[in-house]
Chains A and B, each alone.
Chain A
């Protein structure tokens, strides 16, 4: 009991650091899912409908991102911009890496969703005189969005988990703050478990949300 009391005491002392770390984790995840989704939409459209020559660079981008570990992407976007004359903070470099990673994954799942739509629908849309942008807006995208929503939420979980890797390049998110606190009070198990529980709460909530969306989609 005494141990638990001293943990609570240390937790109270560290509350602000942990709160800032947690908010940074959330902020980084939100920023990368927003950028990643914007990028992913472009990638998905190019992969599905662009002619070969335009499609190829996007294919290469997706395969490069999916073949490389996230940690390597993070380290590369931390070290490389400086030597080519761009100055990015560690946080910006992290968001860049996670967005590029998310863009490739969302692009792939968007392509899957678009290609799952029966080709007859494109022909039908064409034959009633819809232009391609209209076809996209009224026929293809609404259906693809429904199919892509559950895996998109899963990508969000992956990004929150991936954001913990930014502690390695010195971004003061939840995990690095936790490590700093452990460095001060040596309560290793307690604070790692505490950080783990925070990640779990957010991720399980998102995961359950994704599952309920999936159920509602398949019920219709």
Chain B
């Protein structure tokens, strides 16, 4: 129990940790951006008229929500090259996280779509907007606003999940922390600082999202 805290070794590599944090954020932003597009398309399909599309979306959602992210990441990184698709570790991680977040976002957007009042859609149709115009300029903005809090939570979740990229040697925060831990044996300090960085980053994102929600009042 003779352990005294010395943060020096961790501070010496603090810039590495910050770079890792920025990389993790970048990965999460890229993945959630792609996932949002996927989720929007899938959500509109899931409330649409085509039965085949609905079945396809429901299979996509239950497949990617129930598969561990790590399995998905390893599958994309190690198994896809055998089929001739070559992705580097960044691309394959963003791809895996995008598919994963897309499934969660589909559910969120779907709930948002269902909560858009029918009268709004009817009004848009009766002033002569086409189905596509109604969806794009009336339904989508209301739905996005209603889905904003859940969208933010998903983003925070995906940012935390970017730590899993460490498993395929992407040098993000967890990977760097593990390296410092193994190099210096300042075990407690390293993990205190690493989780502190995650918590602070999550708190800042959450605060920014709350401000965004206030800027756009709920419909």
A positions within 8 Å CB-CB of B: 63-64, 67-73, 75-76, 79-80, 82-85, 157, 160-165, 167-168, 175, 179, 182, 188-189, 192-193, 195-196, 199-200, 203-204, 207
Contacts and interface: CB of A to CB of B under 8 A. Distances in A.
Given A64-B199, A189-B82, A72 B68 contact: no
Secondary structure class of chain B's binding surface, majority of residues: helix
B162 to A, nearest CB: 8
Given A84-B1, A165-B164, A196 B70 contact: no
User: Mostly helix, strand, loop or mixed at chain A's interface?
Assistant: helix
A158 B82 CA distance: 30
B213 interface: no
A199 B82 contact: no
B150 interface: no
A68 B195 contact: yes
Contacts, number: 113
Nearest to A182: B78
Contacts of A203: 66-67
B42 interface: no
Given A69-B162, A196-B67, 5 more contacts: A72-B163, A72-B191, A161-B68, A164-B71, A193-B79
Nearest to A200: B66
B92 interface: no
6 contacts: A67-B198, A72-B177, A72-B195, A179-B74, A192-B71, A207-B66
A175 B188 contact: no
A179 B187 CA distance: 27
A203 B162 CA distance: 22
Given A64-B199, A85-B1, A189-B82, A75 B178 contact: yes
Nearest to A79: B187
3 nearest CB pairs, A to B: A67-B199, A203-B66, A69-B163
